[in-house]
Structure 1
Amino acid sequence: MSSISASAATIECDGNLSDIVITSAVNTQTNMEMVPTNESINASACAGFFEGNDQPLPTFNTGIWGDGLLNGEKHKKGATWFGAPGAFITEDDLQDLDGDGLVNDPGWIFLGKDDGKGFETTNLTQWFMDGSSFDLDRYLNINFSCAEECKSGDWSLFFPEPERMLAELASSIFGDRFFDHLAFSFKVGKNTIIYDFNFNMINEGLNDSFDLAIPHNFEGEFDLSGFAHDISHISVWARDPIGVTSVDEPLSLYLFICSLLALGLIRVTRKKESKLELWQRWGARKAAFKSFLIKNGHE
């Protein structure tokens, strides 16, 4: 089987782009196979080894700068794995996702991880204006198989209800756009290595075969047997562009909106609360989000 390469700019990496490949990509709308017969698609870029686990996870998981390792947040031990503009992207890919007037948000979203017990989809999905959560687990199935003490195997990423998923996403902060990058983070021994598929770049080699507005069902393979240690877990990220580069509304309004989006603040609960208690709880969380933005240079 031959492979298609779409290499990005050089990033220090101890692996090979062929360590993980896409062997099948089916457009869920047309049911057409995007990967040419007897070929596979190599990763576009990789980065690592980084020392340690791929922590911390995002706090809000909305793709803003400084929230999650791929969005420039420092590792829990203090090292910066990805500086500006963020992992595997250029300044042209940046967005203004928090409405602070700065086009500096990478847009990486954490999807979940498999630590050997099956893939666990993230619950950091409070992506609606009313603070409710998107049911990602319903619409996304990711699976990994492992062989040889978990050094190699197969992977798949399927969308069982793509049309319904897109309809629901249309009213979320991400709208009806779909991801243009897909990244896999492998914990190998005491280190982490991350591989990225950049579909903008892959499209250049496939005559724009991928319609990035439509979900695709993927299958692939990975082989990290060239490393001494086994894989202990695999995390998956996607970069979801929304096509917004600037805003004119006041920051105070967007802090309010972003607080609702990221934290899911004022919602009806089973426990009755007074209006005063609700506003006190909302004020505290809004202040925490504003403090986070200021800490990471958003104000």
Structure 2
Amino acid sequence: MNKILIVAALSAFGTAHAAQCNVSDVRITSVAQYSDASPTATLSTITASDFSTDAAACAGAFIGNDGFYPQINLGYSGDGLLNGGTQVASGNVLFSNGAFISEQYPAQDLKGDGTADDPGWIMLGKYEANKLGEWVFSPSSLGIFDDIVLSTFFSATRDGSGKGTWEFTPDATAAARAAKALGNNWFDQFAVVFKAGNGFAVYDFTPDLFGASAPLASDPIMNWYGTYDVSKTLTGGGGNAAGLSHISLWARDPSSMPDTNIPTTNVPEPTSLALLGLGLVGLLASRKRPA
């Protein structure tokens, strides 16, 4: 299985407290899928007990924070760090054409201005400690809607040395809720950003990891479980693992034909889990294109 390793150069940002990321830093170890898109859908594991795969690509580590965060949050060019926005800490553009953009995963005209320059990355939220010291996931609004992404979408464990587990767990009815702001295609990538000490690194997951294309929006939603070890990539003083500050979660809108069977109030017919297991990328529905 071919892996694409994307490592950003550190020379422009300094090398203290950051090293080159590795796709093996963050892994998926299990995938589960809902039986349908109804509120009463059941969740079943669809991967083997010994399943494990590295990230498809990574970028960083970079010095500083992973802000700025999107303001409109619909994947438009320049809106957010992964969409070619300027890093607040350095004033540099770390992803000039958008993160993990390629011929297979191209920029597109999401804004409706006639230029296909929108990377499509949407920030789903950030996992960090609140004022009480409790680690929680704070969902982001998508456009004007703040009820699409839930606080249950992401969680993680931390061992204090840059290692732990993570879970990306959208609920069964996420696609129906997302239709009012997003729309017809499913996201074709998701990225997990780890911030620790004075640096951060980005890890990308795509359907290429499984030799599959992205599934339709009407397919039952999947949940993802994995591990991380950024102890060698994000370090503090003396080269020891830096304490985890937060984890940000992003997903990218694909440029493909719309799925006209996206669920709304009706429950779609269940599809064979064996067939759906070939396309391990269904997350949320993508935005509606401007009229």
| TM-score, normalization by structure 2 | 0.71
Counterpart for residue 23 of structure 1: 29
Unmatched 5+ residue regions in structure 1? 246-260, 262-299
Tell me what 1:121 maps to: 138
In structure 2, distance between residues paired with 1:212 and 1:6? 24
Aligned to 2:49: 37
How far apart in 1 are the matches of 2:145 and 2:59?
34
What is the match of residue 195 of structure 2?
187
Q: Residue 145 of structure 1: CA displacement?
A: 0.6
CA distance in 1, matches of 2:191, 2:111: 23
Q: Which residue of 2 aligns with 1:216?
A: 222
Deviations 1:91-119 (A, max 9, x none): 45221111000011110000111223323
Shift in alpha-carbon separation, 1:10–1:217, aligned structure 2, 3 A: closer
Residue 53 (structure 1) aligned to one of 46, 53, 65: 65
Contact kept, 8 Å, 1:188 with 1:232, in 2: the verdict is yes
Q: For the aligned residues, what is the CA RMSD?
A: 2.6
User: Secondary structure at the residue paired with 1:80?
Assistant: coil
* 1:8 maps to 2:4: yes
Residue 187 of structure 1 aligns to which amino acid in structure 2? K
TM-score, length basis structure 1: 0.69
Aligned to 1:238, what secondary structure does the other structure show? strand
In 2, are the aligned partners of 1:182 and 1:197 still within 8 Å (CA)? Answer: yes
Q: Which residue of 2 aligns with 1:254?
A: none
Of the candidates 167, 175, 178, which is equivalent to residue 176 of structure 2? 167
Using the TM superposition, give the Cα deviation of residue 75 of structure 1 relative to its aligned residue in structure 2, in angstroms.
0.7
Which runs of structure 2 are paired with 1:234-273 in the superposition (5 Å)?
A: 234-241=247-254, 243=256
Does structure 2 conserve the Cα–Cα contact (< 8 Å) formed by 1:97 and 1:244?
Answer: no
SS in 1 for 2:150: helix
Compared CA separation, residues 209 and 123, structure 1 to 2 (3 A)? closer
Q: Structure 2 unaligned runs (5+)?
A: 9-18, 37-42, 259-286
Aligned residues: 229
Cα distance in 2 between the residues matched to 1:58 and 1:209: 27
Q: Deviations over 1:5-28 (max 9, x none)?
A: 552254337122111111111122
Question: Cα deviation per residue 1:37-74 (whole Å; 9 max; x = unaligned)?
Answer: 31201101111111100111111000000000000001
Relative to total residues, which structure has the larger helix share, 1 or 2? 1
Which residue number in structure 2 is paired with residue 64 of structure 1? Answer: 76
Secondary structure of the structure 1 residue equivalent to 2:174: helix
Q: Which amino acid aligns with 1:23?
A: T
Instruction: Please tell me whether the aligned partners of residues 17 and 45 of structure 1 are also in contact (alpha carbons under 8 angstroms).
Output: yes
Q: Structure 1 residues 198, 155: CA separation in 2 closer, same or farther (over 3 Å shift)?
A: same
Distance, in Å, in 1 between the alignment partners of 2:113 and 2:78 is 14
Question: For the Cα contact (< 8 Å) 2:187–2:251, is it kept in 1?
Answer: yes
1:80 aligned to which of 73, 78, 93: 93
Alignment of 1:196 onto 2:204 = yes
Name the SS for the 1:137 alignment partner. Answer: coil
Which whole-Å CA distance do the structure 2 matches of 1:90 and 1:135 have between them? Answer: 28
Whole-angstrom distance in 1 between the partners of 2:125 and 2:179: 22
Does the C-alpha gap of structure 1 residues 9 and 212 become closer, same or farther in structure 2, counting only changes over 3 Å?
Answer: farther
Contact 1:145/1:155 (8 A) holds in 2: yes
SS in structure 2 of the partner of residue 187 of structure 1 = strand
- Aligned partner (choices 174, 178, 196) of residue 186 of structure 2: 178
Q: CA deviation at 1:150?
A: 4.5
